[in-house]
Amino acid sequence: MTTPSVPPPPPASSVAESPASLNQKRGRGGTVAALLALFLLVTTIIATSLWIWNYNSARSWEEAAADARVERDVAESELAGAESKAETLEAASSTMRDQISTLEGEAAGVAKQAADLEEQEARLAEREAAVTKTEDQVAATTITEGVWTVGVDIEAGNYRVKESPIDCYWAIYTTGTNQDDIIQNDIVTGGMPTVTIREGQDFESNRCGSWIKQ
């Protein structure tokens, strides 16, 4: 007797799924989609935040760079101004040094002139003193008109008229004789007469001018 053959099982795709199984699969698919959507949202938020942060950072860096450039320009301008002032001050200092050097030279010249003037004044004072001494000596040894006693009024020595006389009378007497004892006398017109007188004598001069001791 022939045993009937057992039919093969149906393919898996042809096996009908239960509603519960289908609902479970749909639930898992929705969860995955939700998670994927959430991931995409979070990623988008993070990317947007990073972009905004980078944008703000870039603007901040640009602003900082611009501020730095402005500060650099200001510093360079101030430096240029300071260098210009320094050059001006250096030029003024150089001019002042030149002026000081010139003034020092002039002061040295003035000091030398003052020293020369003092030396000249000293020499002039010496000459004046010598002239005064000579004049005093001449005055002390000059005989004028009158009768004089040698050794009392006038010095003994040789005397000569200062200028050529006209009608000059002179006489030498013995002192104490009241001009009675005439040692020598003369009347002179022209020439430059001289006399020698000694102590113990009187000398008389009339119209002879001054007699200078020789």
Q: Which sign, positive or negative, has the C-alpha torsion 186, 187, 188, 192?
A: positive
The residue from 93, 114, 140 where one domain ends is: 140
- The residues that bridge with 160 in the sheet, in sequence order, are 194, 212
Question: Residues of 68-78 as b/e, b for ≥16 C-beta within 10 angstroms?
Answer: eeeeeeeeeee
The verdict on 99 and 33 lying in the same domain is: yes
Q: What is the pLDDT of residue 145?
A: 97
The verdict on 131 and 193 lying in the same domain is: no
Q: What is the mean pLDDT of residues 12-30?
A: 55
CB 163 within 8 A of CB 135: no
The verdict on 111 and 164 lying in the same domain is: no
pLDDT tens across 96-140, in order? 899 988 899 898 989 999 899 899 999 999 998 888 787 778 888
The residue from 140, 156, 187 where one domain ends is: 140
Task: State the Cα–Cα distance between residues 43 and 126, nearest whole angstrom.
Answer: 119
Q: Where is mean pLDDT largest: 57-61, 104-108, 205-209?
A: 205-209
Q: Give 47's pLDDT tier (boundaries 50, 70, 90).
A: confident
Burial of 203 (0-12, 13-18, 19+ CB in 10 A): buried
Q: Are strands 201-206 and 168-174 parallel, antiparallel or unpaired?
A: antiparallel
In a domain, 94, yes or no: yes
- Boundaries of domain holding 45: 19-140
CB 210 within 8 A of CB 149: no
Q: What is the mean pLDDT of residues 46-59?
A: 81
Q: Give 53's pLDDT tier (boundaries 50, 70, 90).
A: confident
Q: What is the mean pLDDT of residues 180-208?
A: 98
Residue 4 pLDDT more than 70? no
